[in-house]
């Protein structure tokens, strides 16, 4: 995976520009995955970022990529081509620190780590009452892994913790809750999500009720 290192991505693509999301992970609103700013700027700002107060994200889907973004997707295509049952592939480049609070996706996916180290906490949890599920999401938003583990233990929820490093890949089924954070290693992480074909009306309805703003963005293929 050396060819997909942070340094090599920087060398290959820092001269390009694209849409970048800027995030403040001290915010804990129910849909705090929204960036505090989204702007078109040089990728140099991401690869050379020294600001530990905010985090930067480049997020590219092969279904909506611009001309510049397509160059990055072509670069990683050797690891995504010839896979079966693929709806789309997404490349994410995230600076440290990075955290994504508990959520589930409505699709099966395979995660392929290219650079950096990520820690994942995965579990199944289904509420019969959407209001209760939204309250749970509000409670866990922004929690450090240790605190989240304590809460899940108190709820007697079975979970697993997984660390992914360059070259690792693993499968996350639709509907499985997961929280993610970067380990403090290097400048950030680079990974690919291979989104598999398949649609669950039940999961889609649930997702929309819990995260209405994010659901609308997904429908419009707005990824920030």
Per-residue pLDDT tens, the chain, 224 aa: give them: 789 999 999 999 999 999 999 988 776 554 456 788 899 999 999 999 877 788 999 999 999 999 999 999 999 999 999 899 999 999 999 999 898 889 999 999 999 999 999 999 999 998 889 999 999 998 888 788 899 999 999 999 999 999 999 999 999 999 999 999 999 878 999 999 999 998 889 999 999 999 888 888 877 777 66
**Helical (H) or strand (E) element with 124:** none
Q: Map out the domains of the chain as residue ranges.
A: 2-219
**Distance from C-alpha of 97 to C-alpha of 15, rounded to nearest angstrom:** 24
Both structure tokens of 135: 């309250």
Beta-sheet strands, E only, within the chain = 17-23, 37-42, 55-61, 86-95, 99-103, 109-115, 118-123, 159-164, 169-172, 177-182, 188-196
CATH architecture type of domain 2-219: Sandwich (2.60)
Question: Whole-model pTM?
Answer: 0.93
């Amino acid at each position: 995976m050396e060819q997909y290192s942070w340094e090599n991505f920087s060398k290959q693509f820092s001269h390009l520009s694209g849409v970048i999301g800027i995030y403040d992970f001290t915010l804990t609103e129910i849909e705090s995955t929204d960036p505090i700013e989204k702007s078109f700027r040089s990728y140099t700002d991401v690869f050379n970022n020294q600001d530990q107060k905010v985090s930067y994200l480049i997020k590219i889907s092969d279904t909506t990529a611009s001309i510049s973004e397509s160059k990055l997707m072509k670069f990683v295509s050797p690891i995504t081509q010839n896979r079966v049952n693929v709806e789309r592939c997404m490349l994410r480049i995230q600076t440290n620190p990075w955290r994504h609070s508990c959520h589930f996706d409505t699709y099966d996916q395979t995660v392929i780590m290219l650079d950096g180290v990520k820690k994942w906490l995965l579990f199944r949890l289904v509420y019969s009452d959407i209001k209760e599920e939204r309250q749970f999401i509000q409670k866990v938003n922004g929690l450090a892994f240790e605190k989240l583990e304590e809460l899940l233990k108190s709820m007697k929820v079975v979970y697993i913790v997984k660390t992914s490093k360059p070259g690792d890949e693993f499968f996350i089924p639709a509907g499985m809750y997961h929280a993610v954070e970067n380990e403090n290693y290097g400048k950030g992480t680079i990974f690919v999500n291979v989104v598999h074909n398949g649609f669950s009306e039940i999961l889609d309805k649930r997702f929309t009720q819990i995260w209405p703003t994010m659901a609308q963005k997904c429908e419009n293929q707005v990824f920030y």
